[in-house]
Each structure stands twice: as structure tokens, then as C-alpha cells.
Amino acid sequence: MSKKTNWDDESNEVKSQWAKFNVPMEDKVKGTLIAKRQIKSNLPGKTGELVWVYDLKVDEGTFHALDKKKKIIPEPIVANEGEIWSVGGKPGIDAQMRNVKLGQKVGLKFLAELEAKTAGYNPAKQIKVYTPKNDDDSYQMDDEWLAANDPAVTGF
């Protein structure tokens, strides 16, 4: 017999899934861009500024988390197919994502850490955006997602 819990039981909480890029050449995600939105930043020195967030319906992805001492946890987190993961924007990502359309396949890969331009700051993370193409050189689109999210059908 299954155990029934109250709707607001901690075990029923929906967790946000944020892609964290910590290991160069290993941390990456590929999927369908399903939303672009702006939120207010909580980062020191940027509090209240609007920053971009990109939501992906994942095809595949792996990330490495950090422990409380900011050391990399060796076992990667696996983003499973169909899960929704969010990627925080930054100028390099935002510039590359500007022309990616909703429903388009996209991949992000952490390539390298670059020396911080400002002393005392963390190294910059070089993250490259990829837009896979079909044999006819057209961009890969998620036709199933597009059909299910067509404004003419959904009314949104």
C-alpha cells in the first residue's frame, strides 16, 4: 500500500534544476529551447539587474556540483531526457542565444576557465553554444514540442 502525504509535504516539493558548469569539457547540456526569460539577479554587485535564463527540455546532459568547501564532487549529476533544466545567462551566452528560436535544438558546453579580469573574482567560464543542423543544413527543431506549443493550438 502506498503512503499518502499532504500536498505540502517536503517530499512533494518541486525542485528547480539549474545547470552548473564546473568541469571544463565534461559539463554540458543539449536539448530544446522552450523558454527565454529575464529575472532579477541576486549576485553580489548585480543585485536587481535583469539577467537572462534559458529553459531547456533536455535530450542529454551532465554537470558536476560543488560541495560546501567549493570542491568538485566527482560523481556527475545526469540531466535525464525530458527533464527541464535552466541555464543562467551571461554576456557571452546571451550574445550566442540571441538568434536561437523557441523549439530549436541547442547545446551548451563548458570549454575552459579564463583568468578573471578583476583581481579577487572567480575565473570566467567559457561556455560555447551549439545549434545542431540537419543534413540539408537547416537547424534541428523539436517538431513534437513545436506542435504541442503552437500558439494557434494552445492559445498562448
Task: Give the residue from 56, 51, 52 showing the smallest Cα distance to 104.
Answer: 56
- CA dist 54 and 29 (Å) reads 12
What's the pLDDT score for residue 2? 61
CA distances from 98 to 89, 101, 117 (A): 11, 8, 25
Residues 141 and 132: beta-carbon distance below 8 Å: no
pLDDT tens for the chain, 156 residues long, are 567 778 888 877 777 799 999 999 999 999 999 999 999 988 777 888 999 999 999 999 999 999 999 999 999 999 999 999 999 999 999 999 999 999 999 999 999 999 888 888 888 899 999 999 999 999 999 999 999 997 655 544
**What pTM value is reported for the model?**
0.85
Q: Where are the beta strands (DSSP E) in 10-155?
A: 28-40, 50-63, 77-79, 84-88, 105-114, 124-130
pLDDT at 99: 92
